[in-house]
């Protein structure tokens, strides 16, 4: 292994999990010895909300039938189609001396590299979104990420997100309260841009991480699955989901991005030339 090269574990399977188990598995990654990459699909269709979101502001469909779970990270309301590619990476422990902002942008750039390898040109902002160019100098969001700083000193950071594969704009319209045509100005999806399967997208993202790091592949063990199932019980509790979100903002070391100039100095080299610096023009939902 080369000096300073990150050594990671890769979960070889693309998992299909319900929302509670997905969130529990993501949280569990931060308890592991090595930074770990996991790829999955939500099953069935699920909505997740950032820990600062007020449950009572959700559309009626999210409180009457649609599975909804609160993420351990920030962010807004996010729908997860069963073909969307969900990624999670427990990244950079305290001893590495790499700060959380740089670590997050670096991991996001590896996701971008995976998408680019399929024939799509992606661009980054200095936050959590991934874009593709659109007409008239605009940008459309194709993936998003969220980050949780160390829940406990010495433990890894959690970086996770979703790549939109073929979303249902009817559902998006209900979630965001916007007309379909307006939403299509902000979002796009992989299936519209390239003829690649969800499995090929997962393979490309996984290969991108493996190209950057020393790695070994290892599935979750039965003992690890038992711990994940125990964590999932908490995510299924209505008490974990309900509330204004205000009571959770300081929980588990919530991370704040800071102002634009502060983000710029943390951007890794492989985002140079691929970043939208005119941040307001890249602002989306």
Residue 271: which pLDDT band, with cuts at 50, 70 and 90? confident
Mean confidence (pLDDT) of the chain: 86
Count of CB atoms situated within 10 Å of the CB of 32: 14
131-190: pLDDT as tens digits: 999 887 789 999 999 888 666 666 788 999 999 999 888 888 888 888 888 888 888 999
Residues 6+ apart with CB under 8 A from 235: 19, 20, 23, 24, 69, 70
Q: Which pairing describes strands 139-148 and 157-163: parallel, antiparallel, or unpaired?
A: antiparallel
User: What are the C-alpha distances in Å from 125 to residues 96, 141, 273?
Assistant: 25, 10, 11
Quick check: helix, strand or coil at residue 16? strand
Distance CA 128, CA 112 (A): 12
Q: What is the pLDDT of residue 197?
A: 97
- For the chain, helix (H) and strand (E) counts, in that order, are 10, 11
Q: What would be the CATH architecture of the domain defined by 7-282?
A: 2-Layer Sandwich (3.30)
CA–CA separation, 12 and 3 (whole Å): 25
Chain centroid to CA 282: how far?
A: 18
Distances 94 to 38, 65, 215 between C-alpha atoms, Å: 21, 41, 19
pLDDT at 253: 43
In this structure, are residues 179 and 173 in contact, taking their beta carbons and an 8 Å threshold?
Answer: yes
What pLDDT shows up at residue 226? 98
Which tokens go with 123?
Answer: 């661009």
Q: What is the mean pLDDT of residues 210-224?
A: 97
Q: 162 Cβ partners below 8 Å, 6+ apart? A: 78, 80, 84, 85, 86, 87, 143, 144
- Domain ranges for the chain, please list them: 7-282
C-alpha 15: how far from chain center? 15
Q: Give the model's pLDDT for residue 257.
A: 62
């Amino acid at each position: 292994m080369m000096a300073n090269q990150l050594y990671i574990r890769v979960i070889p399977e693309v998992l299909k999990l319900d929302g509670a188990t997905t969130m529990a598995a993501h949280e569990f990654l931060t308890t592991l010895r090595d930074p770990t990459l996991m790829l999955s699909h939500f099953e069935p269709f699920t909505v997740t909300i950032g820990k600062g979101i007020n449950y009572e502001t959700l559309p009626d469909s999210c409180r009457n039938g649609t599975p909804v779970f609160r993420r351990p990270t920030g962010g807004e309301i996010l729908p997860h189609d069963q073909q969307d590619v969900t990624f999670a990476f427990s990244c950079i422990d305290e001893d590495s001396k790499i700060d959380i902002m740089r670590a997050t942008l670096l991991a996001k750039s590896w996701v971008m590299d995976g998408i680019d390898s399929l024939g799509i040109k992606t661009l980054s902002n200095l936050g959590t979104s991934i874009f593709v160019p659109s007409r008239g100098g605009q940008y459309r969001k194709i993936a998003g990420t969220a980050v949780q700083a160390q829940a406990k000193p010495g433990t890894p950071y959690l970086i996770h997100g979703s790549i939109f594969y073929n979303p249902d704009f009817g559902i998006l319209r209900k979630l965001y309260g916007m007309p379909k045509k307006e939403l299509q100005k902000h979002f796009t999806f992989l299936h519209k841009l390239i003829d690649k399967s969800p499995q090929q997208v997962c393979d490309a993202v996984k290969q991108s991480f493996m190209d950057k790091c020393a790695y070994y592949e290892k599935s979750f063990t039965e003992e690890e699955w038992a711990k994940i199932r125990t964590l999932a019980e908490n995510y299924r509790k209505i008490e974990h989901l309900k509330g204004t979100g205000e009571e959770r903002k300081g929980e588990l070391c919530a991370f704040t991005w800071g102002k634009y100039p502060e983000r710029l100095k943390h951007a890794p080299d492989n985002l140079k030339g691929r970043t939208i610096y005119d941040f307001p023009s890249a602002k989306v939902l």
